[in-house]
Amino acid sequence: MRRSGELERAVMDVLWESREPRSAKEVLAALPEEKLAHTTVITVLDRLTHKGLARRERAGRSWRYAPAASRESYVSSLMIDALGRAPDREAVLVHFAHAMTGPEADALRSALATADGAGDAVDASGAVDAGGADNAGGADDADEGSQSGDTGQDRPTS
């Protein structure tokens, strides 16, 4: 399990680093590890696609793969998980303290309203960047507003 997890991570790293979609062969060539079979890489790419972490498109007779979202947006969707207090998700993880501080946390809170998981996380990360700059001054208002919204409608589809 751990082994395949490391491989997924290495493959995603390759996809994130390249600017355009890559074929399995190109991914294999870019991987630092040498002794991998072509089919192994295809299996990993398929699994990543199945999990919704990568996207693929036809290119001639083969597939080309690209990340479904940027690394930053995955990080912020994890942070949103860590921050979120939707009643149906409170069993998922245990916080050290039910608080996230700093202007970025406020931006994340406001991103809670729009973001819902990895698929939409691109928008979430955009909101984080924009909000982080804007909110530094009036963070308290943004915080209160989004905390009250927090209770009900933050995750409409889950």
Partner 1 sequence: MSHLLHFAVLIVCCITAVRPLARARWVQRMPRTALALWQAIGLTLELSLIGLLFSALFAPANQGLLPGLARIATGSVATDPVGLLAATLGGLLIAARLITLAMTCVTTARERRKHRDLLRLVARADPALPGVEILDHPAAAAYCLPGRDSSIVISTGALGMLDSAHIRAVIAHERAHLRQRHDLFLLPLLAGRRLAPRSTALSEVITAVRLLLEMLADDTCCRTRSRHDLADALTRFSHDPSKLATPAGGFAAADTGLAARTARLLAPEPAHSAARSITVIAVAATLLATPLSLFVLPI
Looking at 29, 75, 130, 136, which residue binds partner 1 (CB under 8 A)? 75
Looking at 100, 120, 126, 134, which residue binds partner 1 (CB under 8 A)? 100
Biggest alpha carbon–alpha carbon distance for the chain: 55
When the beta carbons of 6 and 38 are compared against partner 1, the nearer one is 6
Q: Which two tokens stand for residue 22?
A: 């890559």
Looking at 51, 133, 137, 138, which residue binds partner 1 (CB under 8 A)? 51
* Least distance to partner 1, CB of residue 32, Å: 16
Give the length of the chain. Answer: 158
> Under the criterion CB under 8 A, does residue 32 sit at the interface with partner 1?
no
Kindly tell me the burial class for residue 11, based on how many C-beta atoms sit within 10 Å of its own C-beta (0-12, 13-18, 19 or more): buried
Angle at 37 between CA 34 and CA 41, to 5 degrees: 95
66/1 Cα distance (integer angstroms): 23
> Under the criterion CB under 8 A, does residue 77 sit at the interface with partner 1?
yes
CB atoms within 10 A of CB 65: 28
| Contact residues: partner 1, CB under 8 A | 1, 5, 8-9, 12, 51, 53, 71, 74-79, 81-83, 85, 87-102, 104-105, 108, 117-118, 132, 140, 143-144, 147-148, 150-152
